Every structure is written in structure tokens, then in C-alpha cells.
Amino acid sequence: MKLKSTECSLKLNNERVSGLQNAIHIEELSKSFKRKRVIKPLSVQIESQKIYGLLGPSGCGKTTLIKMIVGMMKPDAGGITVLGKRVPDASLLSEIGYMAQSDALYTELTGRQNLEFFAKLYGMSKSERKIRIDYAAEIVQLSNDLDVSVFAYSGGMKRRLSLAIALIQNPKILILDEPTVGIDPLLKQSIWKELERLKAEEGKTILITTHVMDEAERCDKIGMLREGEIVAIGTPMEIKAQYHAASLDEVFVKIGGGH
């Protein structure tokens, strides 16, 4: 069917508008464990097609926040909307590629069998599975080790396989909890290049937690979390200006990361 020019421009406009929408919308979210409040009422918007970094000292609530976004943990109050759907929503499973902080892998299986397992869960055809497995393995440089059992993988190889699994279903959103821990600097560079390409060319939204300041510098926007609250939000340059700091390391120390 051919679209008339007015229909065409309307369609383009709508796509532009939807491209600008927030991919993740968090409102007044809170969470406590026993009597300890880990996430204070917290609101934040994560724009589509951006790399958003979540930074903060150990124990400030980054993983807890992420687990609530992916629907693995229920908040005590408040709400999360991802791609216009209220979490939890089973249809979001294929839209979000999640890489947890600790690797959840089948160690008795090979890398390829792990990837096959997750690809089948997403209902991919055999030919799709082959294309996506080859792509994901290549990105994390595991192509030559795919047929080795995961129990023989090093810590860094396991992290890389977890990242490949997060990419397997070609999700719109990638949520990566400290993805480059244990990964050597050269591969880290190439993973970052691919994350930037995924954003620029494929319109992915990427939410990443990190303690590594040179990674934080590469994010479009960062949210600094302290004791369950977002204490600063902005581009790396804006945050440094706000804290009168020469580097994000200095900001980190100023917000209490040095404790």
C-alpha cells in the first residue's frame, strides 16, 4: 500500500515523537528490606535512544532499582513504565535484555547451548538463532570458545557470555549491571563501541551501572545515586560543573563514594 504524502509525513512525525519518548519512566518508587529503606521515593525518566549511566557507591541501591525495572522485584510503592507498559508485563521480557551482576549461566552446558537455550525461549526460528548467536558471540569475542563447557570459562568469559545472552533477542532496551567487570581493557573498548553503535544505528536505549569513571564519561546522561536517592542528574559535563569537579572521580568522592 502506498501512503499519501500527508499520511507519510504524519507517520514520520509519529515515529519521531515516539523516538523521543522516555523509554523508562519511574515515579515515586520506593523499596525497603525489613526496616531499612534502600530506595527512597525516587522519580526518574530515561530517554529513548540514549546511554544512561547509574553511578553511586556500593550499597546505594543500583541493583535494587534495576531489578525493579526489569520486573524481578516488586516495589513497596510507586510505579515503573517501560516502553509505555506498566511493569510487570510479560510482553516486556523480549523487549529488555538484562545482564545481571552475577552470572546466571548453565555451567554444565557449552556457551553455544546457553545461547541456544535463551534464543529458543524467545521463540526464534533456527535460522534466526544462528544469525543472532553468531552476532552476539562475535561482539563479545567468544566465537572460538562457543563449544567449550561454561564450567571451563574464566570469570571474564562468563561475563561476556552473559552480555551475549542479554543481546540475543535483539531487545529495544539493554539493562546492564556492571557489564565490564573482569573484562580486559581492549575488549571493554570494543564492547563500548558496539553499545554506541547499537544506540546510534539501531536506536537502542541502554541503562548501565558502573563504578568505572571512564565508562561513566561515555554515557549521554548519568544519575548519581546515594542512599537510595538520585542526588544529581545530567550529562557528565553538567554533573562535573554542578559539583565544581574536574573529574567524575572527584564528584564520586564528593557525593560520598569515598566512604
List residues near ligand ATP by CB under 6 A.
33, 38, 56, 58-64, 101
CB nearer ligand ATP, residue 58 or residue 144: 58
| Total residues found in the chain within this entry | 259
Render 197-225 in DSSP notation, one character per residue.
Answer: HHHHHH--EEEEE-S-HHHHHTSSEEEEE
In whole angstroms, the minimum distance from the beta carbon of 102 to ligand ATP comes to: 10
What the block records as the C-alpha cell of 122 is 524467545
In whole angstroms, the minimum distance from the beta carbon of 80 to ligand ATP comes to: 15
* Single-letter amino acid, residue 140: V
CB neighbours (10 Å) of residue 16? 9
- Non-local CB neighbours of 123 within 8 Å, separated by 6+ positions: none
In whole angstroms, the minimum distance from the beta carbon of 30 to ligand ATP comes to: 13
Reduced to 3 states, what is the DSSP secondary structure of residue 163?
helix
In whole angstroms, the minimum distance from the beta carbon of 63 to ligand ATP comes to: 3
Q: Which residues pair with 224 in a beta bridge?
A: 55, 232
CB nearer ligand ATP, residue 61 or residue 97: 61
In whole angstroms, the minimum distance from the beta carbon of 198 to ligand ATP comes to: 24
CB nearer ligand ATP, residue 101 or residue 113: 101
CB–CB of 123/117 below 8 Å? no
CB nearer ligand ATP, residue 49 or residue 210: 210
CB nearer ligand ATP, residue 5 or residue 58: 58
